[in-house]
Amino acid sequence: MITPATLDRVVRAALEEDAPWGDITSTALLPAQAQATADLVAREPGVFSGGEVFAAAFALTDPAVAVDLHAADGDRFEAGDALASVSGPARSILTAERVALNFTQRMSGITTLTAAYADAVAGTGARIADTRKTTPGLREFERHAVVSGGGSNHRRSLSDAVMAKDNHLEVLRQGGRDLATALRDALARLPHTTHVVVEVDRLDQIPAVLDGGADTVLLDNFSLDDLRAAVALIGDRATAEASGGVTLETVRGIAETGVRVISVGALTHSARALDLGLDVRIA
């Protein structure tokens, strides 16, 4: 869910970036009284996301602009579908157009890619999750887009969960600290509600992680055979999560090993913006 404060802050910043001293083209060419109606049209099939962000770009530019959304976040669409309509002062519509499209194209691209991953693992019991590999400043929008596509959110920030990765473990190793003991000591200092994830890249690391009381074991770049072995070793003592180089071609096989979560950085760092356009309707 995108909070109202984030919606206002991020969209205002984008509008300020795009028109710091106003839209001189629209102001110079278009009469102040000119009205227009335009449709948000899909140039290709996909899954929609970002409706409230699209609407906010126009509302924050000019409250006189009306936006009518024809698609809800998570709706699938085909090329040629009208996803929203906009009407009101022409100058304001054209001033907000690019910002509104940038957000909606980006978010719909993430949602479409996430839906493809979710479809690929359907029936396996595994869930697709995002990572912190997001565009700086846009994490809340991009996480929303992942959920719109049927995915799940991982931790939102470094403040939300313990997640010990390879560099954390290397620092512990260099300091001569035993991983299981370090985890137990950390858990003793943390609130009981804190979720603890530990990333491993070898099977022989798993027993210490389990002995330390981790809630999730993150299996990074494991082969399918090693994933199956890891799932058997972990059993019901923790959640088995897979990550690392996951693609649409490999994700089904990974899910079928029995892992419960598959985290995919590509959902946000490599999603292609969908081709959506704002077409002024000719009366």
Q: Which residues are catalytic?
A: 98, 133, 165, 199, 220
Continuous H helices in the chain: 4-18, 24-29, 51-61, 90-120, 139-148, 166-174, 179-189, 206-211, 224-234, 251-255, 266-269
Beta strands at 239-243 and 216-220: parallel, antiparallel or unpaired: parallel
- Alpha carbons within 13 angstroms on the beta-carbon side of residue 105 total 18
Secondary structure in 3-state letters for 150-162: CCECCCCCCCCCE
| Residue 89 to residues 27, 56, 68, Cα–Cα distance (Å) | 11, 16, 15
- Answer whether 50's CB lies under 8 Å from 103's CB: yes
Scanning the structure block, which residue is given the tokens 């404060």?
A: 5
Query: Can you say how many angstroms the Cα of residue 82 is from the centroid of all Cα atoms in its chain?
Result: 24
Q: How many CB atoms are located within 10 Å of the residue 15 CB?
A: 20
- Residue 176 has phi, psi (to 5 degrees) of 75, 20
Residues in a beta bridge with 42: 276
The string of DSSP codes covering 42-97 is ESS-EE---HHHHHHHHHHH-TT-EEEE-S-TT-EE-TT-EEEEEEEEHHHHHHHH
